[in-house]
């Protein structure tokens, strides 16, 4: 077990009708002018935005709105938000949406109080010194951005998708009402659930030894997620399943599951390039690449993949041939993805990259040779090309 | 699953050598005068206090010291600390020790920021609106007070042991170096471990339905802590076991495992009275009463006790007779307590209760009839008496 720091100060307000508390929480932060940041029109049509606007008015808090965030949120809208915040003297960003809206909100929060180009942070050219406070009303259980340090933005100029993390970006509060997720399309529920699971799986597949406690927490989270995602395929308005999934989504990515260990995150990097090039749903993209990643790397630690197979997927251990158990665990995971209608390869994802495109993605993922991807097995460009090829289906 | 709020702002700094970060963390908060609060002489003898004092000096932070905190920390010393802090202009309290020292520090933190008698908080007569900032350097994995919102203080007059919970007292940072716990006596390691387990068990035994996620986290925590407490009986200097237990100790009590559910806490109340009257080690006291509490209440929800038996204690489910499984789980838990040399009744705790003492404990426990205890089964004075009798 490694030394670590863990700091997760986001106040979570969870349950039915909790969105009505939003304005009170903004006020408690001492802020006066809010940027209400959101995505498409569903938040307005459902009445959610209206309720939040009413609650802001009731507390006497001024606000301006900026909608239009799309999946794989764009840098150009971030620039627009920064401009707007500066012009209007905004001192609080309220993100109403899922990971894309929150990530966009975080980028605006940094950019509004920094002199440099906000993209420089994502390019790791410089570090932000401050950020406006961000609050969240979550509408999809997926990214975990509501309590995390992270933000992922796509630069249209070259379709580069890059992530950045800083404690400055942890939201002040996260309002989570599972009921708000009732009307999500099935595909988004499943894709979000896959994302949640992958946040924990990336941490689970580690080479760090003696991490029993976080192993047990990870395994419990994954089993619960699979159980309730399957329920939601048939019964999307099941409050308790929506609630388990939503809360697990935050805990999966707030840092607890990585304490004392080094996560992998290769699958995320592999998917980021896909998302940048083909604009696929993030979770579905992860499902499409994970099995190929797993088969490419499992020999580096058969024991860990066998543990996953037994403790998470419920396989019986083959003590004479642990490798068989390890591979069975990967197969069962694919079966699970199919059960929730997620792809297990690029073909099922609806993407058919050319060899040149695979070369380009592998190139971008390794920052043109400036870095390796992943920690379970550090992957170079050639490894990534093979994994993309395996994932074609 | 119930609605909930969770706010855990404590920054955790975990691992080897981390105590050296104390001075820097305090400086980053802009505090200038520290009360260094600790217990007996072991922190001084081990060199830990010296290392911390050196880190304060290095950052140019002034400090005064107040040692002498004992298990079941006393109100008398809390008053002394409040006085000292006011006189010296202390703006930060650094607790170096375990739950007792941290709880005492929290009480002092409340005391220096409020005008009324600090005991009023513990007596349910007042509520705190703020608390002086508290930092902790943890030396025993047990109470979880290093990240929790609770504090338990004993008033010598009448030997009343009372707890008070408020988010304002959550420490701003918690430094945890598992190596610091290598030299704990085996009994304290086990007693601390029993306390950690009980913090999760109190939350686990709930009547709230549809709490799969926190159930799974609770079950994982309990299995891990049991595994590593058994390792530590034979190998007390095992870093990784010390580390699992120490980190689990914080997570067990920081509120996460409680989210969306109502915990029980009857065993804690039963033990608090024992601790107030006899000054027993808290975890050992919990182990001594839990089995009797469990047998007294399990029929309220046999399914939950069976789940505990199967998912935590590894029993095989008796599908024809779940009650048998439920009872087997309680027995296996008692076996586990014996393996780590913890008592499973009050006699094994070294106490021979008289009828009068049981009457007095029960009376105090329900605040003379002003409250009931527990949520899994709501217990009145007669129930409490019956459990003390069973636990004798």
Neighbours of A319 (CB within 10 A): 8
The interface pTM score, or ipTM, of the predicted complex is 0.90
The pLDDT of residue A356 is 97
Give the chain B residue nearest A244 (alpha carbons).
B213
Contact B14 A7 (CB under 8 A): no
Contact A6 B15 (CB under 8 A): no
Q: How far is CA B112 from CA A251, B87, B108, B115, in A?
A: 35, 10, 6, 8
A155-208: pLDDT as tens digits: 999 888 889 999 999 999 999 999 999 999 999 999 999 999 999 999 999 999
pLDDT < 70: residue spans in chain A: none
Q: Give the residues across from B293 on adjacent strands.
A: none
Identify all chain A residues contacting B6, using CB atoms and an 8 Å cutoff. 11-12, 14
> What letters, b where the CB count within 10 A reaches 16 and e where it falls short, cover B4-25?
bebbbebbbbbbeebbebbbeb
Contact in structure between A8 and A170 (CB atoms under 8 Å): yes
- Lowest-pLDDT range, A156-160, B45-49, B129-133? A156-160
Give the C-alpha separation, A393 to A252, whole Å: 29
When computed from its CA atoms, the radius of gyration of chain B, rounded to whole angstroms, is 20
- Lowest-pLDDT range, A157-166, B28-37, B76-85, B348-357? A157-166
> Which among B272, B290, B273, B268 is positioned nearest to B359, based on CA atoms?
B273
A307 to chain B, closest Cα gap in Å: 14
Q: Tokens standing for B105?
A: 């520090």
Contact A14 B3 (CB under 8 A): yes
| Residue B279 scores a pLDDT above 80 | no
Contact in structure between A127 and A166 (CB atoms under 8 Å): yes
| Inter-axis angle of helices A99-111 and A75-88, nearest 10 | 50
Q: CB under 8 Å to A93, separation ≥6 — which residues? A: A34, A35, A37, A85, A105, A106, A108, A109, A132, A133, A134, A135
Interface of A with B (CB under 8 A): 1-16, 18, 209-210, 212-213, 215-217, 219-221, 223-224, 227-228, 239-240, 243-244, 247-248, 251, 256, 259-260
| B314 lies within 8 A of chain A by CB | no
DSSP state of B317: P
Give the C-alpha separation, A192 to A25, whole Å: 26
User: Quick one: how far is CA B171 from the chain centroid?
Assistant: 15
B349-380: pLDDT as tens digits: 999 999 999 999 999 999 999 999 999 999 99
> B158 falls in which pLDDT band (50, 70, 90)?
confident
Contact in structure between B315 and B329 (CB atoms under 8 Å): yes
DSSP state of A264: -
Identify all chain B residues contacting A223, using CB atoms and an 8 Å cutoff. 216
Give the C-alpha separation, A84 to A37, whole Å: 11
């Amino acid at each position: 077990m490694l030394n670590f720091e863990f700091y997760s100060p986001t106040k979570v307000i969870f349950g039915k009708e909790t969105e009505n508390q939003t304005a009170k929480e903004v006020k408690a932060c001492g802020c006066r002018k809010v940027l209400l940041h959101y995505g498409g029109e569903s938040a307005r049509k459902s009445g959610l935005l209206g309720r939040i606007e009413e609650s802001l008015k009731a507390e006497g808090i001024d606000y301006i709105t900026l909608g239009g965030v799309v999946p794989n949120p764009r840098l150009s809208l971030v620039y627009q938000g920064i401009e707007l915040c500066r012009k209007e003297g905004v001192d609080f960003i309220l993100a109403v949406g899922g990971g894309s809206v929150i990530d966009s909100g975080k980028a605006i929060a940094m950019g509004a109080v920094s002199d440099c180009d906000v993209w420089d942070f994502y390019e790791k050219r410089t570090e932000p010194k401050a950020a406006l406070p961000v609050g969240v009303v979550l509408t999809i259980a997926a990214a975990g951005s509501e309590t995390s340090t992270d933000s992922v933005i796509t630069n249209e100029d070259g379709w580069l998708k890059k992530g950045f993390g800083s404690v400055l970006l942890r939201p002040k509060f996260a309002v989570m009402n599972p009921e708000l997720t009732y009307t999500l399309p099935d595909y988004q529920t499943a894709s979000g659930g896959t994302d949640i699971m992958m946040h924990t799986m990336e941490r689970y597949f580690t080479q760090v030894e003696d991490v029993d406690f976080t192993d047990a927490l990870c395994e419990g989270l994954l089993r619960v997620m699979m159980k309730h995602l399957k329920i939601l395929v048939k019964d999307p308005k099941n409050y308790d399943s929506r609630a388990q999934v939503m809360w697990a989504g935050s805990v999966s990515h707030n840092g607890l599951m990585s304490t004392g260990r080094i996560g992998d995150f290769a699958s995320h990097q592999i998917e980021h390039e896909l998302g940048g090039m083909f604009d696929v749903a993030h979770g579905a993209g992860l499902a499409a690449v994970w099995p190929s990643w797993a088969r490419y790397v499992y020999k580096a630690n058969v024991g860990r993949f066998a543990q996953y197979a037994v403790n998470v997927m419920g396989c019986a251990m083959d003590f004479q041939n642990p490798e068989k158990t390890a591979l069975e665990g990967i197969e069962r995971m694919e079966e699970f993805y199919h059960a929730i209608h997620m792809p297990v390869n690029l073909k099922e994802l609806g993407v058919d990259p050319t060899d040149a495109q695979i070369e380009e993605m592998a190139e971008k993922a390794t920052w043109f040779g400036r870095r390796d991807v992943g920690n379970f097995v550090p992957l170079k460009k050639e490894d990534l090309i093979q994994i993309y090829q395996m994932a074609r289906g | 699953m119930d609605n909930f709020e969770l706010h855990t702002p404590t920054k955790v700094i975990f691992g080897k050598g981390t105590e050296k970060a104390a001075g820097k963390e305090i400086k980053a908060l802009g505090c200038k005068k520290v009360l260094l609060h600790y217990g007996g002489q072991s922190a001084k003898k081990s060199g830990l206090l010296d290392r911390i004092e050196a880190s304060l000096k290095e950052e140019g932070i002034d400090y005064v010291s107040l040692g002498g905190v004992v298990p079941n920390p006393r109100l008398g010393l809390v008053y002394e600390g409040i006085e000292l802090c006011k006189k010296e202009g202390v703006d930060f309290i650094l607790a170096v020790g375990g739950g007792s020292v941290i709880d005492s520090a929290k009480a002092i933190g409340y005391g220096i920021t409020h005008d009324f008698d600090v005991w009023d908080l513990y007596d349910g007569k007042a509520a705190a609106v703020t608390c002086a900032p508290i930092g902790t350097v943890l030396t025993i994995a047990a109470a979880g007070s290093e990240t929790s919102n609770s504090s338990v203080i004993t008033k010598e007059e009448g030997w009343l042991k009372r707890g008070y919970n408020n988010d304002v007292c959550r420490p701003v940072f918690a430094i945890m170096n598992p190596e610091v716990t290598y030299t704990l006596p085996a009994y304290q390691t086990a007693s601390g471990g029993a306390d950690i387990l009980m913090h999760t068990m109190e939350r686990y035994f709930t009547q709230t339905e549809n709490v799969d996620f926190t159930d799974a986290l609770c079950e994982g925590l309990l299995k891990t802590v049991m595994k590593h407490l058994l390792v530590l009986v034979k190998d007390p200097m095992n870093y990784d076991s010390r580390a699992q237990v120490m980190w689990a100790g914080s997570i067990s009590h920081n509120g996460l495992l409680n989210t969306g559910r109502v915990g029980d806490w009857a065993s804690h109340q039963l033990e608090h009275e024992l601790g107030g009257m006899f000054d027993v080690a808290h975890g050992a006291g919990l182990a001594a009463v839990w089995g009797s509490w469990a047998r007294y209440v399990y029929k309220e929800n046999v399914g939950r006790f069976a789940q505990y038996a199967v998912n935590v204690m590894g029993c095989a489910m008796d599908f024809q007779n779940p009650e048998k499984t439920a009872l087997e789980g309680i027995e296996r838990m008692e076996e586990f307590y014996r393996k780590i040399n913890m008592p499973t009744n009050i006699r094994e705790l070294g106490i021979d209760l008289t009828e009068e003492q049981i009457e007095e404990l029960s009376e105090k426990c329900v605040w003379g009839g002003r409250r009931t205890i527990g949520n899994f089964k709501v217990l009145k004075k007669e129930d409490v008496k019956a459990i003390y009798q069973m636990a004798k």
